[in-house]
């Protein structure tokens, strides 16, 4: 059961990074790693899990706050 939880979390984190990078590319032309370190992205993923907001809405809002 624990391995299944880890796999789900890993898949969710991968989807999160892909969506976040896609939003950065759409807004700036470069991916997320041009703006954030892997550690910062991991921290942001933890914040996302706590907010229970749809992934697309969370990433759009976050990228807007970074670019302001």
Looking at the 3D structure of the chain, how many domains does it have? Answer: 1
Which tens digit of pLDDT belongs to each residue from 1-47? Answer: 566 666 768 899 999 999 999 999 999 999 999 999 999 999 999 99
Which tens digit of pLDDT belongs to each residue from 39-64? Answer: 999 999 999 999 889 999 999 999 99
Q: What pLDDT is attached to residue 9? A: 83
The boundaries of the domain holding residue 37 are 1-67
In the predicted structure, residue 68 carries a pLDDT above the cut 70: yes
Instruction: Output phi, psi for 18, to 5 deg.
Output: -60, -45
Q: What is the pTM of this model?
A: 0.84
| Nearest by Cα to 20 from 51, 55, 47, 54 | 55
């Amino acid at each position: 059961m624990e391995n299944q939880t880890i796999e789900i979390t890993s898949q969710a984190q991968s989807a999160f990074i892909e969506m976040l990078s896609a939003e950065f590319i759409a807004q700036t032309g470069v991916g997320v790693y041009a703006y954030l370190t892997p550690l910062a992205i991991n921290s942001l993923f933890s914040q996302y899990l706590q907010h229970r907001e749809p992934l697309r809405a969370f990433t759009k809002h976050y990228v807007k706050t970074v670019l302001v």
